[in-house]
Chains A and B, each alone.
Chain A
Amino acid sequence: MAKDSKNIIKPFIEDKGGLMPALHAIQNNLGYISKDNIIELAAAFNCSQAEIIDVITFYDDFRLAPIGKNIIKICQAEACQSQNCKQLLADLTSHFDLELDETSDDLNITLKEVFCLGNCAIGPSVMINDTVIGEATTDKIMSHLKSDDTNKS
């Protein structure tokens, strides 16, 4: 059973500028920010729902719908460009048959682009959830996903 969203929000209400940490906390616990969450956040932070949505939609990380269990972020910044990250992006979109920002039907994979993971000396770099992979290739990414699955099951 997922944690109650009101309890998730509670520690941040009295914090100055607590909305950002509250949004992160909701998303970390519940996967995305739902309509109900927005209503609760607006009440908790004494502002309109529009203002909450305003903040959510500015930031790439926040999402209003469920997303893949594995978020694969492919770096497209300059250092990785010099290491053929565009080709890697093309390989991955074709391998998973997904566009950028698209999630697979089984909610397993979401592909996203990102600009710099700070791993610039050993690109191209890809981040799978919280793990950065250097000198990334489709094979490396697939074997990481596979070993992650084995570890969890």
Chain B
Amino acid sequence: MNDKTKIFIPNETSANSVGANSLYQIIKNLIKNEEVEIIRNGSWGAFWLEPFIEIEKDGLRRGVSYRNTNLSHLNTLEEFFVDFAKRNPFDIKAIDFITKQNRIVFSRIGHEDPLNIDYYKSTKGYQSLISALKIGPQKTIDRIKESGLTGRGGAAFPTGIKMQTVCDQDSSVKYLACNADEGDGGTFSDRLIMESDPFALIEGMAIAAYAVGASKGYIYLRSEYPLAKDFLTQAIDIAVDNNYLGNNIQNSDFNFDIELRIGAGSYVCGEETAMMESIEGRRGLVRSKPPLPAINGLFNKPTLINNVVTLATIPALLLSDQSDFSQIGSNKSIGTMPFQLSGNVKHGGLIETRFDISLKEMVEGFGSGTKSGEPVHAIQIGGPLGIYLASSMLNTSLTIESLQELKGSVGHGGIIVFDNSVNMAEQAKFAMEFCVKESCGKCTPCRIGSVRGVEIIERLQRNKRSKEDANLLHDLCETLEATSLCAMGGMTPNPIHSIIEFFPNELIEK
């Protein structure tokens, strides 16, 4: 029996950004006996509560939000406990924001120290890897195919089919590349996995590598995530020490290593072919496809490329008693999706749920409306290349299919709320400006068309009725869509189309 009192203080970027680290330093200095232990847990993903500090005593765990609170006046731990008790501690697992979710992939975040491998194992961690090693590569791939899992990075391609393609290549060397270049504005699900449950990613990578026959994996992590880098570095070392990575993993003949590669501030390197160029040590210029990376990818070898959440989903869906993952949803929108609610919203955070919930349930149910208290005016779904929906469209379901009908996409699951102070013509202009800044420069329409796009939208801002400019913008968007090698140029018009269609008279007046 462990009757120590535990104090949980999250160590996670968002919690630290509003003071978790400083509070940890203060509380740590108050501890004078060994009856109290501080655990740096992950975040629960309910970011408006951060820094959310919990105390567990006699099996009861309760927490309090210490947002904008200075504790430097405290002299003793007893004073901290008194302060804590005064703030009406509650069980975070019982709040609507958490109970209304269906956390399968994100089931562990917040509970414990993310690097506590005993906790990971006690929650069925590494069981899927061990069972995959027993049933063999093909049966593992079959199970992923049957599950209906699609890529959570943005393109929603069926994961099992991609794995089969890599598996079928006759090559003695194959690679796995995990895309952790989570660059879409308004997204943080990959970061949260890497910081608050990194073993899930490592296990998912090991299973995927085993299934396709890869013995080397790369994680391409964006440089804007230094804490994720720390966690991954440590988690990889721990996994090696426990023989979940390295040679003869768990007494099998499977060998697999993971190398962490850090990006350098380029959005387009989240595009899979640009990412490969970057890993190979070159400019992040997009490659034309074919050949598919699955056939000829990294260092000219067959390469399985998946994003963080996709890979981290694999262990959970292979657990037999969680096979209900595949029972959720329909068509392409199978399983749960970790939506990330942010922007001008009261309760922002990580919301893992079935796809077929309405935008209203997301923004008003989970989000409790805008932070400013002003009416919602626009909601952008799916990152910088995603569409803006108007407040009259809150009944829209968040499935892949329903957003496709609106010429948008779920993308990586970012949902950004804007109140009525937003200027939609400025948002349209930003879509083009972002393309100017982040285009790799390979395709002319993306490199130069985006500059012309900014100019046209600036003219429209001065005269919304210019038919000539409206037509020019339309033609430019068509050209970008038809002639760009990758989604950067090809999908930059999406937010602009949506603003023209769903926000009449805000960019163009007819």
Q: Which residues on A are within 8 Å of B, measured CB to CB?
A: 16-21, 23-24, 45, 54-55, 58-62, 73, 77-83, 114-123, 125, 127, 130-135
Hey, which chain B residues are within 8 Å of A118, CB to CB?
Answer: 13, 182, 187-188, 191, 224-225
Known contacts A16-B299, A132-B17, A114 near B282 by CB under 8 Å: no
Q: Which residue of A lies closest to B260 (CB)?
A: A21
CB-CB nearest 7 A-B residue pairs: A121-B348, A77-B185, A60-B265, A19-B281, A134-B17, A120-B342, A59-B264
| A138–B20 alpha-carbon span in the complex (Å) | 20
Contact A24 B264 (CB under 8 A): yes
Q: Which residue of A lies closest to B380 (CB)?
A: A78
Which secondary structure dominates where chain B touches chain A? mixed
Known contacts A82-B343, A82-B422, A55 near B265 by CB under 8 Å: no
Contact A79 B342 (CB under 8 A): yes
Q: Could you write out 22 A-B pairs with CB less than 8 Å apart?
A: A17-B279, A19-B281, A19-B282, A20-B281, A55-B283, A59-B265, A73-B224, A79-B416, A81-B427, A115-B185, A116-B182, A116-B185, A117-B224, A118-B224, A120-B416, A121-B341, A122-B17, A122-B348, A130-B226, A130-B227, A133-B17, A134-B17
Contact B48 A82 (CB under 8 A): no
| A119–B13 alpha-carbon span in the complex (Å) | 7
Known contacts A18-B281, A60-B264, A119 near B344 by CB under 8 Å: no
Q: Verify if B340 is at the interface (C-beta below 8 Å from A).
A: yes
Known contacts A78-B430, A79-B416, A114-B265, A119 near B183 by CB under 8 Å: no
Contact B418 A82 (CB under 8 A): yes
| A61–B284 alpha-carbon span in the complex (Å) | 13
Extra pairs beyond A59-B265, A60-B266, A82-B344 (17, CB < 8 Å):
A17-B279, A19-B282, A20-B264, A54-B283, A55-B281, A58-B266, A61-B223, A73-B224, A81-B427, A115-B267, A116-B182, A116-B186, A118-B13, A122-B47, A127-B224, A132-B14, A135-B18
Hey, which chain A residues are within 8 Å of B425, CB to CB?
Answer: none
Q: Which residue of A lies closest to B344 (CB)?
A: A82
Hey, which chain B residues are within 8 Å of A78, CB to CB?
Answer: 185-186, 343, 380, 384, 416, 427, 430
| A120–B185 alpha-carbon span in the complex (Å) | 8
Q: Which residue of A lies closest to B386 (CB)?
A: A78
Hey, which chain A residues are within 8 Å of B455, CB to CB?
Answer: none
Q: Which residues on B are within 8 Å of A, measured CB to CB?
A: 13-14, 16-18, 47-48, 50, 182-188, 191, 223-227, 261-267, 278-284, 299, 340-345, 348-349, 371, 380, 384, 414, 416-419, 422, 427, 430, 434, 437-438, 440
One of B264, B279, B434 near A115 (C-beta < 8 A): B434
A87 to chain B, nearest CB (A): 11
Known contacts A58-B266, A59-B266, A122-B17, A82 near B299 by CB under 8 Å: no
B327 to chain A, nearest CB (A): 30
| A135–B341 alpha-carbon span in the complex (Å) | 16
One of B183, B262, B345, B384 near A20 (C-beta < 8 A): B262
| A122–B17 alpha-carbon span in the complex (Å) | 9
Contact A122 B264 (CB under 8 A): no
| A45–B414 alpha-carbon span in the complex (Å) | 40
Q: Which residue of B lies closest to A20 (CB)?
A: B281
Q: Which residue of B lies closest to A114 (CB)?
A: B224
Q: Which residue of B lies closest to A77 (CB)?
A: B185
Hey, which chain B residues are within 8 Å of A79, CB to CB?
Answer: 185-186, 342-343, 414, 416
Contact B18 A134 (CB under 8 A): yes
Contact A82 B417 (CB under 8 A): yes
One of B16, B186, B263, B279 near A120 (C-beta < 8 A): B186
Hey, which chain A residues are within 8 Å of B414, CB to CB?
Answer: 79, 120
One of A60, A121, A131 near B345 (C-beta < 8 A): A121
Contact B224 A120 (CB under 8 A): no
